[in-house]
Amino acid sequence: MHIHILGICGTFMGGLAALAKEAGYKVTGCDANVYPPMSTQLRAQGIELIEGFGPHQMSLQPDMYVIGNVVSRGNPLMEAIMNRGLPYISGPQWMGEHILRDKWVLAVAGTHGKTTTASMLAWILEDAGYQPGFLIGGVPMNFGISARLGGAGGDGASFFVIEADEYDTAFFDKRSKFVHYRPRTAILNNLEYDHADIFPDLAAIETQFHHLVRTIPSSGRLLVNGGEAALRRVIDRGCWSEVEWFNADQGWEMIEHGEERFDIIHQGERVGALRWSLTGTHNRWNAIAAIAAARHVGVPPSQAIVSLASFENVKRRMETRGVVNGVSVIDDFAHHPTAIATTVGGLRRKIGNARILAVLEPRSNTMKLGTMKEALPGSLAEADLVFGYGAKGEGKEALGWDLGAALAPLGERAEVFDDLSALVTAVVAAAQPGDSVLVMSNGGFGGVHQKLLDALGATK
């Protein structure tokens, strides 16, 4: 079977392409921006990529067109497909019907922490010999890839870990992606307002999460963060599966002992202690959720704890890109104010009184709409200096609001730039030995990480 993927260079669709190729499908694809690293990875797998969405691509005559949510009405190839009455399907639905069918699916949902928690869970299962497949919106360093089919575990079962996104499926299917995955085990990590471009309020997102709950069989299990009022409301709307709570009395709890060790408690009994180097209380709850989910498929918590001690995190999650002249440049995917605050706070606890220079690009759809701008100063409160990047104006990447005005409550601690070179110059001028430059964006940020390292090196 030949599939042609529209929007193939996105994280999800690129992973889907790799899985389809591994499963024996003929795969081709197109996108408006065919560039590394995704283009390099896909071509290395023998996947033909086409720049743009020209209708001439119908000459490929695939059996099915798989449509990413980057595609909208008016797209010339999409219009030609529809006018000819050719078969098409969304990426998540194709994934559910062709890759996830007959697998034990473990889905990780939540506003924050999906990538990290899914990576932890996949590593626990791998270390236990389960040979899981996975599709994760990042690159777990223990694996070095973001997607694979996996094999059969010791009991012959086939397990698949997937990052379950609440964003909409396609222009013709406005349900959240995760309703197509039909998990048997599901983690609901947290839930707050996000994706202001498609959801009017938090209640609308809660409804989508309840749709996910409705797809889980009665023999399945939900691992739910009891500290989240929104998730409790979701479960209260109806649940037909077993529920285990974490971050809740008589569920899964923890006792912290400094930054590098914490005890894990299940139903009042200590099941072990985890020592690792990841920062932040949020990552500890991520770990407990992964341990609890792995237990549902037969991995003892004691074994999962040992596995997580060798967990290497995910690229772009507090990833140190380099140290020059005593200045560390750290990359993180944080882009929602809650994630920004958590990331900065975790680094603060790790480095103590050393300075944090936060470099922020608010480029997610929600941030570009300005929905969360009032929360930005508070989210950056523990940073010593803040360097914002983003110009108000027209164009796809421009902000529709004034970043300088939004950060004004931080006073002289904050500067805003619309020129990347000027930002790099300012950060390097301010940096001192012992500082941590924390770069936060959910995009490539113009390669600012390497630009900072190069500029720091030039100041010797």
Tens of pLDDT, residues 325-354: 889 999 887 777 877 887 888 888 788 889
pLDDT at residue 313 is higher than 80: no
pLDDT digit string (tens) for 51-98? 999 999 999 999 999 999 999 999 999 999 999 999 999 999 999 999
Provide mean pLDDT across the span 173-202.
90
- Closest by alpha carbon to 186, among 128, 255, 239? 239
Is 61 within 8 Å of 137 (Cβ atoms)?
Answer: no
Sign of torsion, CA 261 334 34 197? positive
Q: What's the one-letter identity of residue 7? A: G
Two domains, one topology: 100-308 and 319-457 = no
8 A C-beta contact, residue 418 and residue 390: yes
pLDDT digits (tens, 9 = 90+) for 421-456: 999 999 998 999 999 999 988 777 778 888 999 888
* Bridge pairing between strands 261-266 and 269-275: antiparallel
Span 107-146, pLDDT tens digits: 999 988 889 999 999 999 999 999 999 999 877 888 888 8
Q: Range with the lowest mean pLDDT among 24-28, 32-36, 171-175?
A: 32-36
pLDDT at position 457 is 83
pLDDT-wise least confident of 33-42, 245-254, 325-334 = 33-42
User: Which positions ≥6 away from 253 have C-beta within 8 Å?
Assistant: 246, 247, 264, 265, 266
**Closest-CA residue to 272 (of 285, 287, 262, 286):** 262
The H or E element spanning position 450 is helix 448-457
Q: Please report, for the chain, the start and end positions of each structural domain, with discontinuous segments joined by +.
A: 2-90, 100-308, 319-457
Fold of the domain built from segment(s) 2-90: Rossmann fold (3.40.50)
CA distance linking residue 136 with residue 114, whole number of Å: 8
| Residue 179 pLDDT greater than 90, yes or no | yes
- Residue 72: CB partners within 8 Å, gap ≥ 6? 78, 171
pTM score, two decimals? 0.78
At a CB cut-off of 8 Å and minimum separation 6, what does 31 contact? 6, 7, 8, 9, 10, 49, 51, 70
d(CA 134, CA 293): 15
Strongest mean pLDDT among 99-108, 272-281, 406-415, 421-430 = 99-108
**Shortest CA distance to 134 belongs to which of 17, 306, 23, 19?**
19
Which CA distances in Å does 266 have to 244, 262, 297, 310?
A: 10, 13, 17, 22
- Is the separation of the CB atoms in 38 and 14 below 8 Å? yes
Tell me how far CA of residue 76 lies from CA of 9, 53, 57, in angstroms.
18, 6, 10
DSSP 75-107: -HHHHHHHHHT--EEEHHHHHHHHTSTTSEEEE
What digits encode the pLDDT tens for the residues 186-198? 999 989 887 777 8
d(CA 227, CA 212): 19
Q: Helices 337-351 and 281-296: crossing angle, nearest 10°?
A: 110
Which CA distances in Å does 208 have to 179, 214, 228, 294? 8, 10, 16, 25
| Tokens linked to 9 | 């260079």
Q: Are 453 and 460 in contact, with CB atoms under 8 Å apart?
A: no
Is the CATH number of domain 100-308 3.40.1190.10? Answer: yes
CB-CB contact of 222 with 241 (8 Å): yes
Per CATH, the number for 319-457 is 3.90.190.20
